[in-house]
Amino acid sequence: MPHRLLPLLLAIPAMYACRPATPVAGVPPPRAEPPPLPAACGVPASATVSRAGEAVVDPVATFDTAWTIIRRSHWDTTYNGVDWVAVRDELRPQAVRARTRGELQAVLSEMVGRLRQSHFSVIPQEVADGASGGSTAPRGGGALGFETRLVEGRPMVTRVDTGGPAWTAGVRTGWVVETVRGCPMAARLARLPAGLEPRRVGLMAYQIVTGALAGSEGDTMTVGFRDGRDRPRPRRLTHGAAPGSVAKVGNLPPLPAHLTWQRVRRDGRTLGIIRFNIWMPVLAAQFDAAMDSLRTADALVLDLRGNVGGIGGMSMGVAGHFLDSAYAIGTMTQRGSTLNFVANPRRVDTRARAVTPFAGPLAIVVDAMSVSTTEIFAGGLQAVRRATVFGTQTAGEALPSVPERLPNGDILYHAVADFIGPSGKPVEGDGVMPDRVIPLTRRALLDGHDAALEAALFWAARQSGRPLAP
């Protein structure tokens, strides 16, 4: 299928992909001598079964295929200033000498890392096919019922699902994640490359902590926290069922997809909040249903923090819930072709009844873990002045990408286009800068405040032009 028919924009978490030996997206190389990790920081028994030690199959054909795919599909014929032929000539002999799958994956990751761009990675076959301790269920810390971000230099609990395992165990926002299964998170984070741009630090720290917390339903682990007074608070947590459903698209690994919505009252007005974690077709009907339920609200807030991207084309349909004309929210530029992302105004609801797109105030909340399609959507609606954005600067990783199977069974996940926002600037790099920057602070988290969401709700209530309800 031609790439122009696959506007797939998905940020694959680092736990799914082989990390490149050469930095990507402007990331400097790691320290020459990173501090050693304690023995407790080895791979947990329940982690994805690795086949890296198996004998390699078709190493030269696999390397040549990966190199050729990028040569013919990269939108920039200068390859971001990299001599692509020289990369082949340098690394191909290493592929020839590779004796195990892990050795070959390291060479492939080195190759794609030379581009220094996001959305290039090698996904091992066992991960892409969903092999995870004998289960095809997606793995991740979400089943523990809490989220983390790097706040003031430490991995911190920023959200706890009421009724989930963490909440039941007494975990609260503002607590620091100190150890997981006995492994100090500070030791893991100390191995991050020196001099990283803060958003990259946050992204990589999130990936490290989430990977450490990974497990399947029923898995139990001890997590060491520190509370607001920095007292140790060890908790024995058992993974519950992952929320939502499993999304599986093409050669990509299975991913958890979930969406929630609710009504709240602020200053006498009714506000709707919609949250979803990934742009996948399985959630499209749920978003439509949420809009049906919240259509009469005075204003809406879309909480897209932690939304890692997904199917790029979905941004046009969702934008149509809020734009009454076919506004362009950006342009995808490939080698020799372009595709305009145009909002598709919604004229009927889920029962085929005539409606008009929601015209009330719209706020979007983002953070450094808002990636790819999320950046295209938020940046596009911000640029056409349809939404006001709150939170912190997004990841700046928005290259349209596709997965392709290699001869050895691994997946080459690679960008095939650039994306230009309505303002004429690339989304890659700078990402989306909120209209109202609301940084995370430990003090607010310990006090139980979600400052960015509260600011968005306050703005939405004040912007609503409808009369106050009695």
Outline which parts of the chain fall under CATH 2.30.42.10.
141-238
Residues near 195 by Cβ (< 8 Å), separated by ≥ 6?
Answer: 28
From first CA to last CA, the distance across the chain in angstroms is 57
Please tell me the pTM assigned to this model. Answer: 0.85
Tokens 């028919």 identify what position? 5
Outline which parts of the chain fall under CATH 3.90.226.10.
252-401+417-462
**According to the model, what pLDDT value does residue 37 have?**
66
Q: Give the strand pairing for 362-366 and 388-391.
A: parallel
Residues 274, 286: Cα–Cα separation, whole Å: 10
Torsion 157-368-123-281 (CA) sign: positive
Tokens of 311: 């199917």
**According to the model, what pLDDT value does residue 142 have?**
52
Query: Do residues 364 and 378 touch, judged by C-beta distance below 8 A?
Result: yes
Tokens of 273: 């909040």
CATH number for the segment(s) 141-238: 2.30.42.10
Beta-bridged to residue 348, according to DSSP, are 354
User: pLDDT for 84-139, tens place per residue?
Assistant: 999 999 999 999 999 998 899 999 999 999 998 888 988 888 776 654 333 333 33
Tokens 């989306």 identify what position? 432
Q: Give the strand pairing for 245-247 and 436-437.
A: unpaired
**According to the model, what pLDDT value does residue 412 have?**
93
Query: Do residues 371 and 427 touch, judged by C-beta distance below 8 A?
Result: no
User: pLDDT for 356-394, tens place per residue?
Assistant: 999 999 999 999 999 999 999 999 999 999 999 999 999
Tokens of 115: 């581009």
**According to the model, what pLDDT value does residue 364 have?**
98
Q: Output phi, psi for 356, to 5 deg.
A: -120, 155
Torsion 334-339-342-347 (CA) sign: negative
**According to the model, what pLDDT value does residue 40 have?**
62
Q: Give the strand pairing for 299-303 and 362-366.
A: parallel
**What is the SS3 assignment for the chain?**
CCHHHCCEEECCCCCCCECCCCCCCCCCCCCCCCCCCCHHHCCCCCCCCCCCCCECCCHHHHHHHHHHHHHHHCCCCCHHHCCHHHHHHHHHHHHHHCCEHHHHHHHHHHHHHCCCCCCCEEECHHHHCCCECCECCCCCHHHHCEEEEEECCEEEEEEECCCCHHHHCCCCCCCEEEEECCEEHHHHHCCCCCCCCHHHHHHHHHHHHHHHCCCCCCCEEEEEEECCCCCEEEEEEECCCCCCEEECCCCCCCEEECEEEEEEEECCEEEEEEEECCECHHHHHHHHHHHHHHCCCCEEEEECCCCCEEECCHHHHHHCCCCCCCCEEEEEEECCEEEEEECCCCCECCCCCECCCCCCCEEEEECCCCCCHHHHHHHHHHHCCCCEEEECCCCCCCCCEEEEECCCCCEEEEECCEEECCCCCECCCCCCCCCEECCCCHHHHHCCCCHHHHHHHHHHHHHCCCCCCC
**According to the model, what pLDDT value does residue 383 have?**
95
Q: Shortest CA distance to 191 belongs to which of 58, 29, 310, 351? A: 29
Q: Shortest CA distance to 315 belongs to which of 207, 429, 432, 203? A: 432
Residues 455, 436: Cα–Cα separation, whole Å: 8
**According to the model, what pLDDT value does residue 129 have?**
64
Correct CATH for 252-401+417-462 of 3.90.226.10, 3.20.20.70, 2.10.260.10, 3.40.50.2300: 3.90.226.10
Weakly modelled stretches of the chain, pLDDT under 70: 1-40, 42-53, 128-142, 250-252, 465-470
**According to the model, what pLDDT value does residue 130 have?**
55
Q: Shortest CA distance to 357 belongs to which of 426, 294, 421? A: 294
Q: Give the strand pairing for 269-276 and 299-303.
A: parallel
